[in-house]
Structure 1
Amino acid sequence: MVNQIQKAAVIGSGVMGAAIAAHLAGAGISCLLLDIVPTVLTDEETKAGLTLEQPKVRNRLAAGAIERLKKTNPAPLYSEAFAARITPGNLEDDLARLAGVDWIIEVVVERLDVKKQLLARIEQVWKPGTIVSSNTSGISIQAMAEDCGPEFKRHFLGTHFFNPPRYMKLLEIIPGESTDPEILRFMADFCEKRLGKGVVTAKDTPNFIANRIGTYGLLVTLREMLEKGYTVEEVDAVTGPALGRPKSATFRTLDLVGLDTFVHVARNVYDLVDNEAEKTIFDVPAALTGMVEQGWIGEKKGQGFYKKVKTETGKEIQALHLGTMEYAPSRKISSASLEAAKNAKGTAGKIKALLSTPDKYSELAWKVVKPVLLYSAGKLGEIADSIVEIDNAMKWGFNWDLGPFELWDVIGLERSVKRMEQEGDTVPAWVKEWLAAGHTGFYEKREGTTFYYNRGMYKEADTRPEHISLKALKQQNKTILSNSGASLIDIGDGVACLEFHSPNNAIGADILTMVQKSTEEVRRNYRGMVLANEGRHFCVGANVMILLMEAQDGEWDEVDSIIRLFQNAMMTLKKLEKPVVAAPHSMTLGGGVEACLPADRIIFSPETYFGLVEVGVGVIPAGGGCKEMALRSSRLAAGNPEVDLQPYINHYFETIGMAKVSGSGYDTKRLGYMGPRDSVVLNGDHRIYTAKQAVLAMDREGYVLPQEEKIRVVGDSGKAVLQIASYTMKLGGYISDHDRLIANKLAHVLAGGDVPAGSLVSEQYMLDLEREAFLSLCGEPKTQQRMQHMLSKGKPLRN
């Protein structure tokens, strides 16, 4: 029995196979990537005098795939450096090397005969105990392995990664009839903790869970559209955020996935199910197959249900009219129900508003939601054992805010079932029995604990200790302190979590006040503090609107007071005599970064986009961001004054001056934001737990507050080096006059001002430099224009 996976092999270096290898590499697993041996030389190989027998040619497919990983956008790799963990090879020369790995993943073409042939070859070199899996999107696991030996079958299962593996949370694990239950449990645990996946266990049925229900829902929507004459834009207006689904809604999603891929997935169900009514649904409409035949398969071919066209004024999005098969400019759709949904708060509120405001779009929403609810209920037990598996599969695989059963609860189970039966629909017997027993929903909350329908009774949701929910803790009255912008929550074992919950988690006086109060509370009564939240983004920065209003009114004392409050709050956090660990996620920008930097440790989520981006609104970091970067540079020379600090300061000058943002939690190291004690936790759902454990570990070790350090600076001569760089950029036409002004202010602060090189200065001295530079830039009309543009347009202005 394998109890760890350190080495893996992926067979098939196409887009999916290479991306899975990239994800394994990101998890620290060395990976062998194999493909077939080419039979023909390329022109470049011929010119180079290579032959078909040379390794460079024989490994070309896998080696080329690894190189493409470094250039693909969005990036499959957390860091380009991780590509070194992937070794290319081929199925003839390197097949025997499969005996040296712990996990073999087959990712070849979706054909049963090809997969069976490959498994037979793998079994010839297979080392007993090695786990083998197929990344199939719908082919039977049992049929694939039917000719393999019993021991091999015990170690074989399906592992269906959703594309792209780095960004899509869902991993469906599909056991065969002979799969060892212990291996199934081990893989579910490993893939959640080590690979950061949301794992669901699916039955070995066509298309498993997410693709089965998702494809059904898309086809139902398409048929309703064709029957009632709705347009592409109308359907997408209804089936996007108004229903708790992604902005890509129905047809943008199909364009992204590829219509050819979608048709293949739908036909797989059509070919394999026996129920005639179900076959009818999965029989792809002629309009869709016609588009595929014409090559209108979506974004990869430049057109599908939508296409971009160049116009005299720029680019225009056009939508396809299925009746005429002609494109026309995409129209914005509005109605009473859509406006009600837009104005409602939260996913549940939006869905209720959409369905309860009668008009044609409310009716469309009901017509596309109802069959999915009934289908999901009808498939319980066939495609998955629990409603939780189905709900999670749809949330993690299709990015729905609510799974089908959660959505049904929001709509109102009793009321909706009555309407369904009035409209002549057959409701599954188990749903009616559940209602008859007096239940009003599939889920129930009891003092913050979730229970769900399971075989005719409520079952407590299986929550791992790694899954700390701040929302649930607040429902359990674990809030210690709270105001409009932030709360301090008891997360157990003597650790408190400071949660931001202002709009976009932008930092204003309310959050800063709570930082001060929270440090006092933790100092008195707790072992340490975690900084984390469950918002869409950790923090998008300071509240720019307040700063702009005060600057436009010339209230400079107020601006100065705001910056002092920010600086003092961050220093209070830094000087807390208890351990502090920050756990950022998603967008963590400007002031959000400055809130993390004072912490003793940062636990990054893998998808953390981290950067000091203040130049985008015409200022520089003034909440300690510049000071902390100068401090990091100074630490490199601690005890060795001969170390040249200039290259390090140059790096931070470029990073901040160009508003560089990390491409992942791992990428923060390249930008210099990751400290020696910082780390990344692969499963973002575990970050609060991991941060809490880090606090407890420091407390057990006997935490001692680090003494304040003097900062060695590059001084006036170092500033001159930075200002020459900005002058050169201006001469080259790369930056504007205002960009150069900001850059020179940044140079002044990072260098430590007009002091001799090598001078030792205090943190407060550096904070004063930050504040003075920030204030002077706020007075610049072009900075105020940048702030206004960011607030109104949501993107930086270059002026």
Structure 2
Amino acid sequence: MNKPIRKAAVIGSGIMGSGIAAVLANAGIPCLLLDRVPTELTEAEAAKGYTLEHPSVRNRLAVSAIKGMAKSKPAPLYDNDFAERITPGNLEDHLSQIKEVDWVIEVVVENLGVKKELLAKVEQYWSPGMIVSTNTSGISVNAMAEERSPEFRKHFLGTHFFNPPRYMKLLEIIPGETTDAGLVADLSGFCERTLGKTVVLAKDTPNFIANRIGTYGLLVTLSEMIRKGYTVEEVDAVTGPAMGRPKSATFRTLDLVGLDTFLHVADNVFSNVSNESEKSVFEAPEVLKQMVAQGRLGEKSGQGFYKKVKGPEGSQILALDLQSMEYRPQGKAASGSLEAAKLAKGAKAKTAALLAGGDRYSDLAWSILKQVLIYAAEKRGEIADTVREIDEAMKWGFNWELGPFETWDAIGLVKSVSRMEAEGMTVPAWVKDWIAEGNTSFYKKEDGKLFHVSDGRYKQVEQPPEVISLRDLKAQNRVVKGNSGASLIDLGDGVACLEFHSPNNAIGGDILAMISQSVEEVRSNFNGLVIANQGKNFCVGANLMLLLMEAQDEEWDEVDDIIRLFQNTMYRLKRFEKPVVAAPHRMTLGGGVEACMPADQVIAAAETYYGLVEVGVGLIPAGGGCKELALRASQQAGLPEADLQPYINRIFETVGTAKVSTSGHDAKKLGYLRPSDRVVLNPDHTIYEAKQAVLRMASSGYEPIAETKLRVVGTEGKAVLRLGALGMRESGYISDHDLLIANKLAHVLAGGDVPPGSWVTEQHMLDLEREAFLSLCGEPKTRQRMQHMLTKGKPLRN
């Protein structure tokens, strides 16, 4: 950037303001967090004898917001220690400090007058080059800055983060009429690379892109429901995963957002558009007004379209009956179309199956969808320049799997437009012109490249070099080898990528075979290897079903062969003479972690939930996980006379309680990742960064990891670990079977029955892992746990 962003200030410490400050802190950007000065003392402050002039009182709002980050769910920080990067203050005493920052983000109440007044104060301390932005969900950016100086307006724009800011990837950037174009490009790049956001450029129109389309969709859904007599739960059954939308669907989403907040957002469009037809859609329905007046605001008030009640048999979620306005038990929505959508794979197939069902739920889906698609087409050019920006905004802002124009392609553009017109709908002229020219979709792919309609022609979607799509590379015939579980893909520049694509990316014989084949191929024809994929999760572990079947049949030689194969494959990968970098993301569990451990470096996405969780199914890690952690402990302890026990105790607790990291940074704190491993905030960039790491190692004269011995705590250390586990059993924290597993784990981590301080080989540790794993497979309670996980998807405590 012309002026790098090294420090920022956020004004407003509410939920959004503190969340944005956390995003900056997560990215390593020091941040001021300022808020107004309180006008009243709390009881605690009065008891301490404070006055309104005391610094603790004057900074209370920002200080409380920062303290609350550690307790917030979902957590806004990747690591609670990052809160130290945020400095609290107040607008009266500390606003002058913004002179020292590169970016000021205003996040105060959604009121034009309040925002204009604050910006006037900000300009008093504005320095040349400083970026100032407003986090507004729909107020005009130009109206806010109309009284500011020309130079200030060149550096002013909208930056609409979505809530919660850490987890919602969308960032709408809204340039003003005079915002410097270079600044917009620079800030967009910074937010994508450093903050990990997906940026779309929106126009300065009411509610911008995502909230404009999303609010419209929610309102027409409610209108169709009332008009045709559907229930709350029927609507949510249709407008959730069956249409490629989140499980929260329509009414759970409204409850989460808050009905009062939603009415405010809808009213912003109603008050600021002139088209009477559009205005009528955004006029607040009476039922919503009534619910808000009654205090039924959604989750924050305990009741909205749903209400959670406690009964003698546990909690129950009731649904609102719009006829009686009373809560009642939820009904079950079932039909052929819903079942067909459930069985279909992927959002495209699900939506097509739902619409093809020919029942009342298909009718509801079509009635909603046709209106939303036409509205999105009408707004192209008004709220955003391209169909791509609208689609991206809806996918990342509302968690739709397909944007409106991608959905239109999925259900058949030509066929659906014909149906719309036959039903009396007015389809925008540009859509009909596009079809008249012989086009049958808004998007197309050629040679692995994506094109979208723009200005009456197909235009290639330009991706930055940091974004590598394995799907596109496969479409370009870049697959070198492959089987049912994995593929080896040529990333270019002499680097290959091993991609898992088995069900849930679970590691079985097919993936292990492909790892071995990949090693041979890379040895002959490449400079190094990346292990990565772009599935929903990186890897949920080993193929548990296969293990359970062999254990139930008491085929112990087969189980032994499976574990040996896993261990030998990982060991071979670790000793490979060319660099290997793993790039995990999201759920990376059990065998998925063990597949990353042999790598020379791990480049993890920030949202990586990483852990050895085998004890949850009655087992211990046996693909080298225990061995690798024990080896790291030995190396961390250092000198032979140093006390190794505390390091092993920590590993024992982490693995024995199946701890999973809450982020890539937390994985480092837990010891799963090494200090040399890296965390990347934008998950779309991890493969690129992993590739660059391979190239750096290859060009600097890479040497493979030499075989080494590790020091272990032996029998005395094992006794310490087992004593701790026994204490937990006697205190009622764990069961007898948990104690058995813990004792097996202690035996392995301690290095077995050897004298304290013994030096053992890695193979010795692998043998201990395998023996413990086999013995636990023979336990009926372990097999019960495995069965329960496979059928219920959660651990069994027996």
Q: TM-score, normalised to structure 1's length?
A: 0.99
What amino acid sits opposite 2:725 in the alignment? S
Q: What amino acid maps onto 2:797 in structure 1?
A: R
Task: Determine the structure 2 residue equivalent to 1:362.
Answer: 362
Letter of the aligned partner of 1:582 in structure 2?
A
- 2:777 counterpart letter in structure 1: C
* 1:549 Cα offset (Å): 1.1
CA distance in 1, matches of 2:3, 2:701: 33
Hey, what does 1:96 align to over in structure 2? 96
Deviations 1:518-551 (A, max 9, x none): 1111111111111111111101111111111111
Structure-2 residue corresponding to 1:381: 381
- Are 1:24 and 2:24 an aligned pair? yes
For residue 508 of structure 2, what is the aligned residue in structure 1? 508
1:721 paired to 2:720: yes
CA distance in 2, matches of 1:615, 1:637: 26
Correspondence 1:746 to 2:745: yes
Following the alignment from structure 1 to structure 2, what is the Cα–Cα distance between the partners of residues 561 and 606? 35
Is 2:707 the counterpart of 1:708?
Answer: yes
Q: Does 1:530 align with 2:493?
A: no
Q: Percent identity?
A: 69
**Residue 39 of structure 2 corresponds to residue 63 of structure 1:** no
In the other structure, the counterpart of 1:119 is 119
Equivalent pair of 1:449/1:472 in contact (CA under 8 Å) = yes
Residue in 1 that maps onto 2:290? 290
C-alpha displacement of 1:676: 2.1
CA drift of 1:2 comes to 4.4
Aligned pairs for 1:232-271 within 5 A: 232-271=232-271
Alignment correspondent of 2:300: 300
Please tell me the residue identity of whatever aligns with 1:98. Answer: I
Which residue is equivalent to 1:679? 678
- Larger deviation, residues 102-111 vs 467-476: 467-476
Question: 2 CA distance for matches of 1:327 and 1:157?
Answer: 45
For the residue of structure 1 that corresponds to 2:34, the secondary structure is strand
Alignment coverage as a number of residue pairs: 798
Q: Partner of 1:521: helix, strand, or coil? A: helix
* Contact 2:668 2:675 (C-alpha < 8 Å) held by counterparts: no
Matched-pair contact (CA < 8 Å) for 1:2–1:102: no
Give the distance between the partners of 1:448 and 1:410, measured in 2 at CA.
Answer: 18
CA distance in 1, matches of 2:637, 2:318: 58
Could you tell me which amino acid in structure 1 is paired with residue 277 of structure 2? A
Distance 1:20 1:215 in 2: 23
Aligned to 1:648: 647
Amino acid paired to 2:608: T
Distance 1:743 1:555 in 2: 25
Are 1:664 and 2:651 matched, yes or no? Answer: no
Which residue of 1 is the match for residue 335 of structure 2? 335
* 1:168 maps onto 2:168 in alignment: yes
Equivalent position SS for 1:415: helix
CA distance in 2, matches of 1:516, 1:256: 48
For the 8 Å contact 1:445–1:451, the answer to whether it is kept is yes
Are positions 1:556 and 2:556 aligned together? yes
Letter in 2 for 1:621: P
Residue identity opposite 2:142 in structure 1: Q
State the AA in 2 paired with 1:644.
D
Instruction: State which drifts further: 301-310 or 533-542.
Output: 301-310
Q: Name the amino acid aligned to 2:690.
A: A
**Counterparts of 2:129 and 2:769 in 1: how far apart (Å)?**
59
CA deviation digits over 1:77-129, x for unaligned, max 9?
11100000000000000011010000000000000000000000000111111
* Contact 1:270–1:283, Cα closer than 8 Å, also in 2: yes
Q: Does residue 1:789 correspond to 2:768, yes or no?
A: no
The residue identity in structure 1 corresponding to 2:787 is Q
Q: Deviations over 1:43-75 (max 9, x none)?
A: 101111112111111100000000001100110
Aligned letter for 1:775?
A: L
Alignment partner of 1:484 is 2:487? no
What displacement does 1:637 show? 3.4
Q: Distance in 2 between matches of 1:441 and 1:669?
A: 46
Q: Compute the displacement of 1:3 (Å).
A: 2.4
Aligned to 1:735: 734
2:600 is matched with 600
- The match for 2:12 is 12
- Alpha-carbon distance between aligned partners in 2 of 1:302 and 1:573, rounded to the nearest angstrom: 53
Is the Cα–Cα contact under 8 Å of residues 611 and 660 in structure 2 kept in the other structure?
Answer: yes
1:543 partner amino acid: N
- Secondary structure of 1:272 counterpart: coil
Structure 2: how far apart are the matches of 1:408 and 1:194?
Answer: 33
Conserved? CA contact 1:709–1:762, under 8 Å: yes
Taking the aligned partners of 1:70 and 1:716, their CA distance within structure 2 comes to 39
Structure 2: gaps (5+ residues): none
AA partner of residue 643 (structure 2) = D
Distance 1:455 1:341 in 2: 35
Q: CA deviation at 1:355?
A: 0.8
Show the counterpart of 2:475: 475
CA contact (8 A) 1:730 1:736 kept: yes
Aligned residue type for 1:651: R
Contact 2:637 2:647 in 1 (8 A): no
Q: Cα offset for 1:176?
A: 0.4
Residues 574-616 of structure 1: CA deviation (Å, up to 9, x unaligned): 1111111100001000000000010000011011000000000
Question: Which residue pairs with 2:565 in the alignment?
Answer: 565
Say whether 1:462 aligns with 2:462. yes
CA contact (8 A) 2:3 2:129 kept: no
Kept after mapping to 2: 8 A contact 1:162/1:168:
yes
CA distance in 1, matches of 2:79, 2:675: 17
CA distance in 2, matches of 1:485, 1:328: 46
- Compute the RMSD of aligned alpha carbons: 0.8
Equivalent AA in structure 2 for residue 797 of structure 1: L
Q: Structure 1 counterpart of 2:699, which letter? A: R
**Could you tell me whether the CA contact under 8 Å between 1:2 and 1:130 is conserved in 2?**
no
Tell me the secondary structure at the aligned position of residue 124 of structure 2: helix
**Do the aligned partners of 2:244 and 2:400 also contact (CA within 8 Å) in 1?**
yes
Q: Does 2:94 align with 1:73?
A: no
Q: Which amino acid aligns with 1:721?
A: V
What letter is aligned with 1:359?
A: D
- Unpaired segments ≥5 residues, structure 1: none
Deviations 1:118-161 (A, max 9, x none): 00000011111100000000000000000000000000000000
Measure the CA separation in 2 of the matches of 1:332 and 1:563.
44
The equivalent of 1:520 in structure 2 is: 520
Q: Which amino acid aligns with 1:667?
A: D
Q: One-letter code of the match for 2:172?
A: E
SS in 2 for 1:667: helix
Which string of whole-angstrom CA distances, capped at 9 and with x for unpartnered residues, describes residues 394-432 of structure 1?
Answer: 000000011000100111111111111111111111111
Q: Distance in 2 between matches of 1:247 and 1:45?
A: 44
**CA contact 1:508–1:542 (8 Å) conserved in 2:** yes
Instruction: Report if aligned partners of 1:217, 1:372 keep a CA contact under 8 Å in 2.
Output: yes
Equivalent residues of 2:574, 2:705 under 8 A apart? no
Q: Which residue does 1:394 correspond to in 2?
A: 394
